[in-house]
Amino acid sequence: MPGQLHSALLHWYQGHKRALPWRNTSDAYRILLSEVLLQQTRVEQALPYYERFVQKFPTLAALASAHLEEVLKAWQGCGYYARARNLHKLARQVVSLGQSLPQSSAELRALPGIGPYTAAAVASIAFGEPVAAVDGNVRRVLSRWFAWENPGPKQVQQAADTLMAELVNPGSQAHPPDGSLPGDWNQALMELGAAVCTPKKPRCEACPVASFCRGRQHPERYPAARTRPQKSLELAALVLQGPQGYHLELRQGPVLGGLWGVPMEEGPGALERLLTRFGLEKAEPVGTVRHDFTHRKLSIQVYKAPYEAKENPRQRPLSKLDRKILSLVETESLRL
């Protein structure tokens, strides 16, 4: 039965897989870049960033030689900037040692920002290592196949490992059209989850392996939905503008570190602290910007004040949040 499952899914994948640029290369760097992008970004959104990034930094060495600010500028708008910072750090670490990307998932996991999934995906796709890569799509597919409502990470990983071991066993009945067995299998599972076995309204009638699925009668039960509470925060942003530009600051911290933005403070007395910092007595209220991160919902009261400022925001890497704030101020100015 496992051999029939493998064969059916692999043949479906070869005929239905999306034509994506990182599937037309054996370059481990470009495969790594695609996997890092897809950690928190949908394929459709990731495509232009991937193209822009490889045009700007076509090799790992080119990325390593770039300044971090240049890297963040190329990543601008994609969000989750720790990915770009870690990718840059990884490139510098590998290139400084005069090496290329390691070929095993264990060695890849030792690099900055590389977790179990990314390491397994790159090792299997770029180097053919028989290691199972488990992302959200794979978790959902396996949960439905085995009718698991609340599977633990170890349970899912063990099932994925077992399927991979059966695939590469000499006695396996799976015969994909090319020789990239582990990488194709991992991508086939992910593709099935993205295109057919979707979170809502899965297209079971189009599934090539529906006959193997124990949860096909009630697929949306598997796995049970997971809720992530979001913390609400209130902040104040002070847009300081002069005839030649804005005052921008280099941000610190894990979320927006390395990007530039307008001065911002959180909590009671936030505006007063901002005014004191810049020796100002008052600022004009502009409006409110709302912005959501994965675990945080932000409500930012935006103020503006004249200031001797010269920064051009188009020449700095800015977060989407800061671009929304500046856009609000510019729109309000046009109305006056």
Q: Helix 82-96 vs helix 28-37: angle between axes, to the nearest 10 degrees?
A: 160
Q: Is 35 a catalytic residue?
A: yes
81, 36 contact by CB (below 8 A): no
Please provide the DSSP assignment of 281-333 as one string. S--EEEEEEEEE-SSEEEEEEEEEEE----B-GGGS-B-HHHHHHHHHHHHHH
* SS3 category, 117: helix
Short-list 237, 260, 246, CA closest to 306: 246
Contacts 24+ apart (CB under 8 A), 146-152: 146/214, 146/215, 147/214, 147/215, 147/222, 148/215, 148/222, 148/223, 149/221, 149/222, 149/223, 149/224, 150/223, 150/224, 151/223
**Active site residue: 35, 129, 191, 311, which one?**
35
Short-list 116, 100, 48, 39, CA closest to 77: 48
d(CA 18, CA 161): 25
Tokens 């760097």 belong to 29
Alpha helical stretches, state H, the chain: 2-16, 28-37, 43-56, 60-65, 68-75, 82-96, 105-108, 116-127, 136-145, 153-168, 181-195, 270-277, 320-335
Q: Kindly report whether the peptide bond that precedes residue 223 is cis, defined as omega within 30 degrees of 0.
A: yes
Catalytically active residues, by annotation: 35
